[in-house]
């Protein structure tokens, strides 16, 4: 997958694509179906299949101080999109210049002159242009004028006649229900990041952990999880281990910001500086403060045993 962070002066082989437009936060089942349709049209037209997703997310541009809401910051999103088999990701910077463009200017400047799109696929609630004034009817009319096709994609329904949405996935994770999020995503939700040196508190307790911040990610329910962690090199997963992890502010040893602390079973290597992807498989219990370090250590043994049992149950389909 080729990635372009701009729309001006693209090479010829990056133009003329069939392009799906959206935020694609989480790259959930609905997104995957939209991308599959994009690839189908692209194959029929002998054209590249592309995705246009703004970075940063428009909400981050307009509300820079708000709590992070994203399921997938850029690096994680790009890896998931690459796994769908698309040819090109147009990760165009959402800035003041883009924000002030009218709907017509966006189509003319970005889609036509920049990307030279052959076809565009969007959801029925797609909005674009300054103040989100452009809708699918406007896009169709502009497409007729400027010579590209527009297809409105029928959303994937999860339940109760409701389409799959990133908001519903966030709500499931906030409620400590990673298995529900997985059903909607089509894959386990993960937190990715670089392993940093911590205060070695886990090692002192007999459970050395790989520590990561939640920078760029929404905050799921704080507590202890059964997890699977993978080392990522060159955007590819190279090794995976089962483990148990804690997400939160450590009630006994207070941290200023939430941490993800992952203990990998039967692992004795060095992960510092490496990039780790940690999948949340099962929520075991909420955060709690213990009366003593010994009580905490005893609970960590129980958590490890519980995590192993839950992971085995997941593998067996229970």
Domains and CATH numbers, the chain: 2-159 (3.40.50.620), 188-315 (2.40.30.30)
Query: Confidence band (pLDDT; 50, 70, 90) for 21?
Result: very high
pLDDT, average across residues 17-42: 96
Helix or strand (DSSP H, E) at 232: strand 223-233
Q: Give the tokens for residue 239.
A: 């090794």
Window from 12-26, 109-123, 147-161, 187-201 with minimum mean pLDDT: 187-201
Cα separation, 101 vs 88, whole angstroms: 24
pLDDT, average across residues 113-141: 95
**Average pLDDT of the chain, as a whole number:** 91
Write b or e for each residue in 187-200: b if 16 or more Cβ atoms lie within 10 A of its Cβ, otherwise e: bbbbbbbebeebee
List all residues 6 or more positions away from 78 whose beta carbon is below 8 Å from its beta carbon: 1, 3, 89, 91, 235
pLDDT at 250: 75
Cα separation, 45 vs 48, whole angstroms: 9
Question: Is the per-residue pLDDT at 312 higher than 60?
Answer: yes
Does the pTM surpass 0.85? The reply is yes
């Amino acid at each position: 997958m080729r990635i372009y962070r701009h729309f001006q002066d693209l090479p010829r082989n990056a133009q003329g694509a069939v392009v799906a437009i959206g935020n694609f936060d989480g790259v959930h089942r609905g997104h995957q179906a939209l991308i599959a349709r994009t690839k189908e049209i692209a194959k029929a037209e002998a054209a590249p299949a592309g995705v246009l997703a703004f970075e940063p997310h428009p909400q981050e541009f307009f509300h820079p101080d708000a709590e992070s809401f994203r399921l997938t910051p850029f690096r994680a999103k790009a890896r998931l999109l690459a796994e769908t088999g698309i040819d090109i990701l147009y990760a165009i910077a959402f800035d003041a210049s883009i924000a002030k463009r009218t709907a017509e200017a966006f189509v003319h400047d970005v889609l036509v002159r920049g990307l030279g799109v052959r076809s565009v696929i969007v959801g029925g609630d797609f909005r674009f242009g300054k103040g989100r004034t452009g809708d699918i009817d406007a896009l169709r009319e502009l497409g007729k004028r400027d010579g590209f096709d527009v297809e409105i994609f029928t959303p994937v329904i999860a339940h109760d006649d409701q389409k799959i949405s990133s908001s519903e996935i966030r709500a499931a994770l906030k409620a400590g229900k990673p298995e529900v999020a997985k059903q909607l995503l089509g894959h386990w939700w993960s937190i990715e990041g670089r392993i940093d040196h911590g205060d070695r508190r886990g090692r002192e307790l007999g459970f050395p952990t790989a520590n990561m911040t939640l920078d760029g990610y929404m905050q799921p329910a704080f507590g202890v999880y059964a997890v699977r962690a993978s080392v990522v090199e060159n955007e590819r997963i190279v090794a995976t281990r089962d483990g148990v992890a804690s997400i939160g502010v450590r009630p006994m040893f207070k941290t200023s910001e939430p941490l993800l602390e992952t203990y990998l079973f039967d692992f004795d290597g060095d992960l510092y500086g490496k990039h780790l992807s940690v999948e949340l498989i099962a929520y075991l219990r909420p955060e709690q403060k213990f009366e003593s370090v010994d009580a905490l250590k005893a609970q960590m043994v129980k958590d490890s045993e519980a995590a192993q049992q839950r992971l085995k149950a997941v593998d067996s389909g229970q």
